[in-house]
Each structure stands twice: as C-alpha cells, then as structure tokens.
Amino acid sequence: MATYNKKTVEDIDVAGKRVLVRCDFNVPQKDGVITSDKRIVEALPTIKYLMGQGAKVILCSHMGKPKGEVNPKYSLSAVAARLTELLGVKVALCADTIGPDAKAKSAALKNGEVILLENTRFDPREEKNDDTFVKELASLADVYVSDAFGAVHRAHASTAGVAKYLPAVCGYLIQKEISVMGKALTDPARPFVAILGGAKVSDKLNVIDNLLGKVDTLIIGGGMAYTFLAAKGYGVGTSLLDTEKIDYCRTMMEKAEKNGVKLLLPIDTTITDKFPDPIDAKVDVEFVNSDAIPADKMGLDIGPKTAALYADAVMGAKTVVWNGPMGVFENPILAKGTIAVAKALANSSAITIVGGGDSAAACEQLGFADKITHISTGGGASLEFLEGKDLPGISCLLDK
C-alpha cells in the first residue's frame, strides 16, 4: 500500500511544458447529447491548475467500446464542446489521437491552452498497450498526468504505457481517491465497517478475503448474501445462489471468527414470486426470517429488521466502506434496503466511502452525495483497490 504515496501535479514543474492528461470522459450520451457531465466536471480542478501554471494541456480519454475502429458514435466532440463551456476557453478536438492533426495541434499549443485528442480506443493498439502507439502518444508531451481513476485498473497505452517514456504524476482526482481509500485500508479510524452487496459472490471473492484481515465488522447484502445463508444450512428458495461458492462462504465465515471480525448476514429478507419483468414492474412482497424462505419464493432485498441491524452497525462505526446494493435497487419496491444503508451512511459521523456503480448512484439519486465523505469515481478500480490489487495506472506513477 505504500505505493500509493505518489507525486501529484503540484510536485512537478509544468510551466511552458506540454502535459498529456488522461481523463475519464466516458460520459453517458443520448443522441449525441451528454446526459451527465459529472466526470467532465470532476476533471476540471486538475485542468484548471495546469492552465494556471502555464502548461500546454493535451487531454485524452476513451469513450465507450469502439473496438479499435473509428466510430462517430463514440467521438469526443460533445465532450470538447462541454469543456469549452465549462472552462470558458476554446478546447479544440483533434481529428485523430496520434495522427497528423494531433501532432500539429499539440505542437501549436500556447501556454495555458487546451486541446482534446480523439477517442484513444479508436486505435486497436491502445488497449493492447502496444509500444509503437505508446511512443507516438508520449512524443506529443513532456509530462504525463494520470487522472482517470475509473481506468487505472487497466494497463492500456494511455493509462499506464506512456509513463515509461514521460515523468508521470497524478491529478487531483486520483490523489483524492488514493489518499482517502488508501488511508481507510491501511490506517482506518476504528471501528472499521465494510458493507458489500451486489449479485454475485464471485465478483467479490478477493475483496471479502482482503477485508476480513482489515475490518472490525463485515456486512453482507444483495444477491450474494443467499450463498452465505446457504452455507449456514438455510434453504434459500429460488433466490440467486452460487452453488460452487458455498464452501468458500463457509471458509470466510470461519476466517471472520478466527480474526475476531463480526460478520453480519441478513436476519430477514424481502421475498416475492419471481424476478420483476420489466425490472421496475410492480411486485407483491412479503418479509420472512432468513431461515424461513419458502422453496418457491426468491429473496430480492434485505428485510426491515436487517436494514435496522445494518444501520445500527454503521452508526457505531468510525470508518465505513460500502460497495454494492442490498437488493434489486432498480425497482423502487426492492430498493428499500439499499436506501436504508445509504441513509445510515448519510447520517453517520464516520468517514464514509462509497465504491462506484450502483451504491454511488443510490447516494446521488437520493440526494445524499454531499453527506458522504468520498464517492469513488471508478467501479471496477475501487473494487480492485479494496482487493489490495496493484493498479497499473497508479503503480506506474512517480513515488514521492
């Protein structure tokens, strides 16, 4: 974890230098119109700092999955337009990533000016971290700044490769991610409570294993809870069950006991006849104790007694990390458990960290985002961070 003490934009002289900044501008769009500019806004502090220091700023990002081919649907043109509005200066979009237009525009940059390269994934060599592509990209700049936390778990050319050829530091967004989450995992204020939800145990295997060596209490919810309940010998009806992971769950329960970690599982569950189709369809639900799920019913959310138990555990904590919903959050009737957890975090005086994806969406939709200490910008990256994995886009940066 010491590898997370990285140099930042403030530790390097950028005046008059061409600075390549990897951002995460993979924003949702409908008919070419950006529906949420959150990721663009989050990149602004780093961009504005560099402009203010007189750097020549070259921004780059991927958008969607164009599979290595130029596809107008995934162009960053709307992003360039939005950046122009937000920064109050013209941000020109290059017609290519490392081609003649990118080279000409980056060479012509004046101090404090900003350009945006076209989608890095329009070239198949980006995701392969191909060295010829890496060298061409690096040749555009004198310094590299990594600020796309959502992509640091990928060893691509623009996220890790260029650091071989340029002095590499992190921007403000990544600095915040690694300082807040890094401290929680290495030196947390205790009691330290982690809440894991989501559908499958298999997605969180290494996270559970890693956290059981760090937390005081581990709370399990979501679809993966039923595999734990099955490991306790309970019938789970037609609920989501990962039969191959029952033994693993048993081992984890033993590990928790051995480590003196309190492992909380649902004591009651919200059941219904079948999975809602469409996802937000009206469903009739009832609540049963977790050891009394009927054979023909499925659990799709934690029950009210569990929600109160989990909220209580959060209230007694000093550090809370949450990743993954407690039920089928997309359905308002089956979102109550997730909402209860989000509320508990919002009302807590603890340091609260929410890992990306559905948990982050829940906090934002409910208007609790400003009451959470830190909402991670990367789903996959924050999970791998919680696993204690080496993140290629961070380990490639210069140490302080």
The helix-helix angle for 172-186 and 38-52 (nearest 10°) equals: 110
CA dist list (Å): 204 to 80, 152, 229, 342: 36, 19, 16, 20
State the Cα–Cα distance between residues 313 and 333, nearest whole angstrom: 24
CATH of domain 2-173: 3.40.50.1260
Q: Answer yes or no: is pLDDT of 234 > 80.
A: yes
What is the distance of C-alpha 226 from the center of its chain? 25
Domains 2-173 and 180-386 share a fold: yes
Could you identify the residue written with the tokens 């959050």?
A: 329
Q: Which residues pair with 59 in a beta bridge?
A: 21, 116
Q: Answer yes or no: is pLDDT of 3 > 60.
A: no
Q: What is the mean pLDDT of residues 216-226?
A: 96
pLDDT of residue 82: 97
State the Cα–Cα distance between residues 359 and 15, nearest whole angstrom: 40
Domain chopping of the chain, boundaries: 2-173, 180-386
DSSP 198: S
Q: Rg for the chain (alpha carbons), in Å?
A: 23
pLDDT of residue 31: 87
Annotated catalytic residues are 39, 200, 357, 380
What band does 75 get if pLDDT is binned at 50, 70 and 90? Answer: very high
Q: Answer yes or no: is pLDDT of 2 > 60.
A: no
Q: How, if at all, do strands 56-60 and 114-116 pair?
A: parallel
Q: pLDDT, tens digit, for every residue of 42-55?
A: 999 999 999 999 99
pLDDT of residue 180: 84
Sign of the CA dihedral 195, 159, 43, 185?
Answer: positive
Topology at the third CATH level for domain 180-386? Rossmann fold (3.40.50)
